[in-house]
């Protein structure tokens, strides 16, 4: 199968919303008048961002999910995306499954595949997403203010638990392993929540590298500090069964959660809850933003914890 047959067979579909999709030199997007274009790009490399054991359908889902998660963190509505693929070989079964997982999630969010690039090489996937947001409405990392409440969506830490099970550092019974693995391989981008938080949240980020590290980005960009309540962090029943130290490590420094971490003024507490209910996503208050720089992590008795946890950083972890 040649490059063009591959593109035609797996990645060309009639566009619904865009003016022009796959097949020409450029795609043409139709923007609502006056809206701002939000764009974000993520690169996924085999062995670094995903394991070779992942099913292609799930890999397709995750490659788009991590990009939609960035739009969600800005409060943007997804419009379209491009897909650049480096593939060791053109394997129809693999491509069919990969495209299936990818396009199912795309359809669920009304986000169209409008172009890309395809080449032979090691397995690498790059997606660039495009979305729209009203001017001034995007949720930024820089908006947190002292006095804001700190929130997270969903539960944290299951993806990290799965990674550790793959590494052999924890052992999970089969059915628990499958649940953790789903969290790692099939993250849910919180697009509806991000949009519902426009005008309510002061700041937001999606959790890709672990709560401590990603919160650190928000605090530095906003010029504030925070107290984080370690024992208030939402976790699944799966993680609840793990020793405390391990539970904290996974939820505070896990990575690959793709939940939203956001700040909102205290007087908007009820509006945050209403937005979460509207989006159908549970949210939990996990701390408070303060004027004093730095991050203080405390337990349920308000004792300061020194956990020695670091955020995931590709260049620090070899």
Q: Which residues in this chain contact ligand ADP in the complex, by CB under 6 A?
A: 7, 11, 22-25, 83, 85, 113, 115-118
DSSP 68-95: HHHHHHHTPEEEEEEEEEEESS--HHHH
For ligand ADP, the closer of residues 63 and 224 by Cβ is 63
Q: Which does 87 bind (CB under 5 to 8 A by kind): Mg ion, ligand ADP, none?
A: none
- Between CA 224 and CA 293 the distance in angstroms is 5
Asked if residues 69 and 41 have their Cβ atoms less than 8 Å apart, the reply is: no
For ligand ADP, the closer of residues 86 and 273 by Cβ is 86
User: Could you give the residue ranges of the DSSP H alpha helices within the chain?
Assistant: 3-11, 56-74, 92-108, 158-167, 174-185, 191-196, 211-222, 237-240, 244-253, 269-279
- Between CA 117 and CA 271 the distance in angstroms is 43
Give, in order, the Cα–Cα distances in Å from 187 to each of 96, 125, 216, 225, 233: 20, 17, 22, 29, 18
Closest distance to ligand ADP from the beta carbon of 144 (Å): 37
Q: Closest residue (Cβ) to Mg ion? A: 117
- Between CA 127 and CA 174 the distance in angstroms is 32
Q: Which does 23 bind (CB under 5 to 8 A by kind): Mg ion, ligand ADP, none?
A: ligand ADP
Q: Which residues are bridge partners to 289 per DSSP?
A: 226
> 117, 178, 244, 292: which one contacts Mg ion (CB under 5 A)?
117
For ligand ADP, the closer of residues 61 and 288 by Cβ is 61
- Between CA 188 and CA 219 the distance in angstroms is 25
Examine residue 178 and tell whether it contacts Mg ion (CB under 5 A). Answer: no
Examine residue 5 and tell whether it contacts Mg ion (CB under 5 A). Answer: no
Burial 50-84 (b: 16+ CB within 10 A, else e): bbeebebbbbbbbbbbbbbbbbbbbbbbbbbbbbb
- Window contacting Mg ion (CB under 5 A); options: 112-120, 175-183, 232-240, 258-266: 112-120
For ligand ADP, the closer of residues 23 and 88 by Cβ is 23
Q: Which does 233 bind (CB under 5 to 8 A by kind): Mg ion, ligand ADP, none?
A: none
Number of residues that bind Mg ion (CB under 5 A): 1
Token pair for 307 = 């956990």
Q: Which does 196 bind (CB under 5 to 8 A by kind): Mg ion, ligand ADP, none?
A: none
For Mg ion, the closer of residues 117 and 244 by Cβ is 117
For ligand ADP, the closer of residues 83 and 152 by Cβ is 83
For ligand ADP, the closer of residues 22 and 283 by Cβ is 22
For ligand ADP, the closer of residues 98 and 262 by Cβ is 98
Closest distance to ligand ADP from the beta carbon of 258 (Å): 23
Closest distance to ligand ADP from the beta carbon of 208 (Å): 23
Closest distance to Mg ion from the beta carbon of 115 (Å): 9
Closest distance to Mg ion from the beta carbon of 9 (Å): 17
Q: Which residues are bridge partners to 264 per DSSP?
A: 149
| Residue whose structure tokens are 């495009």 | 130
Examine residue 91 and tell whether it contacts Mg ion (CB under 5 A). Answer: no
Q: Which does 199 bind (CB under 5 to 8 A by kind): Mg ion, ligand ADP, none?
A: none
Examine residue 292 and tell whether it contacts Mg ion (CB under 5 A). Answer: no
User: Angle at the Cα of 102 (from 99 to 103), degrees rounded to 5?
Assistant: 80
- Between CA 117 and CA 87 the distance in angstroms is 11
| Contact footprint for Mg ion (CB under 5 A) | 117
């Amino acid at each position: 199968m040649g490059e063009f047959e591959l593109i035609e067979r797996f990645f060309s579909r009639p566009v619904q919303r865009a003016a022009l999709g796959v097949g020409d030199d450029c795609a043409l997007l139709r923007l609502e008048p006056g809206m701002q274009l939000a764009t974000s790009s993520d690169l996924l490399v085999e062995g670094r961002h995903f394991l070779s054991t992942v099913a292609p359908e799930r890999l397709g889902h995750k490659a788009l999910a991590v990009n939609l998660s960035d739009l969600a963190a800005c409060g943007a509505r997804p419009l379209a995306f491009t897909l650049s693929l480096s593939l060791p070989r053109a394997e129809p079964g693999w491509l069919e499954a990969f495209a299936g997982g990818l396009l199912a999630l795309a359809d669920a969010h009304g986000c169209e595949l409008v172009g890309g690039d395809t080449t032979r090489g090691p397995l690498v996937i790059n997606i660039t997403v495009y979305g729209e947001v009203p001017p001034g409405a995007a949720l930024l990392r820089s908006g947190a203010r002292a006095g804001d409440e700190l929130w997270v969506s969903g539960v944290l830490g299951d993806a990290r638990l799965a990674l550790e099970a793959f590494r052999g550092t924890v052992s999970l019974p089969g059915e628990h392993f499958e649940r953790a693995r789903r969290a790692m391989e099939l993250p849910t981008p919180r697009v509806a929540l991000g949009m519902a938080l426009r005008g309510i949240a002061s700041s937001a980020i999606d959790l890709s590298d672990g709560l401590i590290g990603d919160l650190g980005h928000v605090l530095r960009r906003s010029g504030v500090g925070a107290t984080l309540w370690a024992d208030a962090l939402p976790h699944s029943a799966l993680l609840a069964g793990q020793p405390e130290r391990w539970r904290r490590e996974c939820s505070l420094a896990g990575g690959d959660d793709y939940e939203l971490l956001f700040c909102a003024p205290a007087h908007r507490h009820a509006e945050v809850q209403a937005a979460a209910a509207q989006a159908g996503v549970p949210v939990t208050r996990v701390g408070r933003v303060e004027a004093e720089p730095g991050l203080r992590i405390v337990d349920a008795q308000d004792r300061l914890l020194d956990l020695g946890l670091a955020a995931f950083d590709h260049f620090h972890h070899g």
